[in-house]
């Protein structure tokens, strides 16, 4: 997605987490909901700003920048390489990003007085991976998470919350059936794992590649409105 429609604040750094972020403008005077959006590999925080269009006007939308710089305007949550047996990640960096995002969620909730029941974390591709990592390890922090063209890391297994803790969590899983970057099989694996974990979720597949179409956007907004 691009930022042709959305206005955003200047970039600033959250001290507790060390992460940099922008807020979609105008920010509500008394925000009642919080949506945290995470970009994909080699992208930047503003690339998901247009997902905010159509959200309830009392929603504070935070666009967070990955802590790893890959190049000018290119950031990541962790480095990875693609091999014949699948993607191989820098697990230490992924864990660092997970912990930093947990601190950020907590700080934003404290700062704006927003409850976990009114908080959602979502992301595209690698950002979706981190959204799932945060929510599945700390389900008491959020009402739900959005996994847009991403996957759930096997490395997350030691940090997964118990099924009892996960029963109230909601998830939205979307994926392109023609995705050449993360094949649609990853969405089916996520669907199976979430079912096993007892996480209530929606799985939506689209005739697109690795991206966010208007249909994905519309379905994500509808899901978001249904859970908070």
Pairwise CA distance, residues 208 & 192, whole Å: 22
Pairwise CA distance, residues 146 & 48, whole Å: 13
Residue 84: its pLDDT value, please? 74
- Structural domain spans, the chain: 12-227
Residue 2: its pLDDT value, please? 43
CB 206 within 8 A of CB 213: yes
Residue 85: its pLDDT value, please? 72
Pairwise CA distance, residues 79 & 97, whole Å: 11
Residue 1: its pLDDT value, please? 44
For domain 12-227, give its CATH number from 3.40.50.12780, 3.40.50.1820, 3.50.50.60, 3.40.50.450: 3.40.50.1820
Residue 5: its pLDDT value, please? 52
0.85 exceeded by pTM: yes
CB 62 within 8 A of CB 108: yes
Sequence-separated contacts (24+) of 221-227 with Cβ below 8 Å:
221/54, 221/55, 223/144, 223/146, 223/170, 223/172, 224/35, 224/55, 224/120, 224/146, 224/172, 225/56, 227/120, 227/143, 227/144, 227/170
> How would you write the pLDDT of the chain (228 residues) with one tens digit per residue?
443 457 999 999 999 999 999 999 999 999 999 999 999 999 999 999 999 999 999 999 999 999 999 999 999 999 988 777 777 889 999 999 999 999 999 999 999 999 999 999 999 999 999 999 999 999 999 999 999 999 999 999 999 999 999 999 999 999 999 999 999 999 999 999 999 999 999 999 999 999 999 999 999 999 999 998
Q: What is the total residue count of the chain?
A: 228
Pairwise CA distance, residues 72 & 43, whole Å: 10
Pairwise CA distance, residues 125 & 131, whole Å: 10
Pairwise CA distance, residues 59 & 55, whole Å: 7
b or e along 157-173 (b: 16 or more beta carbons within 10 Å of the residue's beta carbon)? eeebbeeebbeebbbbb
φ, ψ at 222 (rounded to 5°): -65, -45
CA 199 to chain centre: 16
């Amino acid at each position: 997605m691009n930022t042709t429609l959305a206005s955003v604040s200047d970039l600033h750094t959250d001290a507790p987490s060390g992460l940099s972020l922008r807020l979609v403008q105008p920010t509500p005077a008394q925000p009642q909901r919080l949506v945290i959006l995470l970009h994909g590999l080699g992208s930047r925080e503003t690339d998901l700003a247009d997902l905010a269009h159509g959200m309830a006007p009392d929603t504070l939308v935070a666009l967070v920048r990955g802590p790893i710089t890959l190049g000018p305007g290119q950031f990541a949550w962790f480095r990875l390489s693609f091999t014949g047996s699948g993607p191989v990640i820098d697990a230490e960096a992924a864990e660092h990003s997970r912990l930093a995002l947990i601190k950020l969620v907590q700080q934003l909730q404290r700062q704006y007085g927003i409850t976990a029941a009114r908080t959602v974390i979502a992301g595209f591709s690698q950002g979706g991976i981190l959204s799932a990592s945060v929510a599945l390890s700390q389900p008491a922090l959020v009402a739900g998470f959005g996994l847009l063209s991403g996957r759930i890391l096997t490395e997350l297994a030691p940090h997964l919350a118990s099924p009892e803790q996960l029963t109230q969590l909601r998830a939205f899983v979307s994926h392109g059936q023609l995705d050449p970057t993360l094949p649609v099989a990853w969405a089916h694996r996520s669907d199976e794992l979430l079912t096993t974990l007892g996480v209530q979720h929606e799985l939506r597949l689209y005739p697109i590649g690795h991206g966010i179409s208007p249909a994905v956007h519309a379905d994500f907004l509808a899901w978001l409105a249904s859970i908070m």
